[in-house]
Amino acid sequence: MIELVVSDILSKASDDRAYVMILRERDGLRKILIAIGFAEAQAIAFAMKGIDTKRPITHDLFKNLVGALGATMQCVTICKISDGTFYSNMLFRKENEELCEVDARTSDAVAIALRLAAPIYIDEELLDRVAIRDEWGGAISVPITIADTETLRSVMDKAIKEENYELAMKIKEEIDSRLSNKEDAGHTDENEN
């Protein structure tokens, strides 16, 4: 298992209430991009910056409940990706015995893990399959086959801001190809009916 840490939260260009969470391996260059919502982005940002709210938000409430039950979060494990959606499990212990494993959205699991100072892991094979890599002083190579179109648009926007036009053009070509393939598939379906 490879440990990941939260690297950044980026807003998506097409929707100011949708975000991309970037997780990077603690001791390496690989990163994964996960699309998340506004509430989760805010909860993760609060935890990263150590911001306390006057009243507990949902992830704080969960942290308080775990503490009140005398349990600890052992870790979060990102266990699979299906149709562009990451799946995670949270492992809890009480008195050094495994208490339970709970299925969770990855964004929620990360927000809770940050509050409980629990590590986040991913299987190396899965990481290799979905990772982007830092190369050449900050440019990235993207496995575009697994990234959703909105995530690709966010990475493209960031590449443009960083004046990495070669990367931006490659991503634009992939997005255009996907749109063209959807149009072709729709045209084929119409002919078959």
The DSSP line for 94-126 is: ETTEEEEEEEEEHHHHHHHHHHHT--EEE-HHH
pLDDT tens string 43-65: 999 999 888 888 888 898 999 99
d(CA 38, CA 32): 19
Q: Which CATH superfamily is domain 2-135 in?
A: Bifunctional nuclease domain (3.10.690.10)
Q: How many residues does the chain have?
A: 193
pLDDT at 94 over 60: yes
Instruction: Give the model's pLDDT for residue 79.
Output: 93
Domain coordinates of the chain in residue numbers? Answer: 2-135
pLDDT at 17 over 80: no
Residue with the bigger pLDDT between 35 and 188: it is 35
* Six token digits for residue 158: 């960031």
pLDDT tens string 67-82: 999 999 999 999 998 7
This model's pTM is above 0.85: no
Average pLDDT over residues 81-93: 88
pLDDT tens string 117-131: 999 999 999 988 888
Instruction: Give the model's pLDDT for residue 191.
Output: 40
Average pLDDT over residues 138-155: 65
Instruction: Give the model's pLDDT for residue 145.
Output: 52
Instruction: Give the model's pLDDT for residue 134.
Output: 60
Question: Mean pLDDT of all residues in the chain?
Answer: 82
What percent of the chain has a predicted confidence (pLDDT) above 70?
Answer: 82
Rg (alpha carbons) of the chain, rounded to whole number? 19
Q: Do residues 144 and 174 touch, judged by C-beta distance below 8 A? A: yes
The highest-confidence range among 8-22, 74-88, 127-141, by mean pLDDT, is 74-88
pLDDT at 136 over 60: no
Instruction: Give the model's pLDDT for residue 11.
Output: 78
pLDDT at 165 over 60: yes
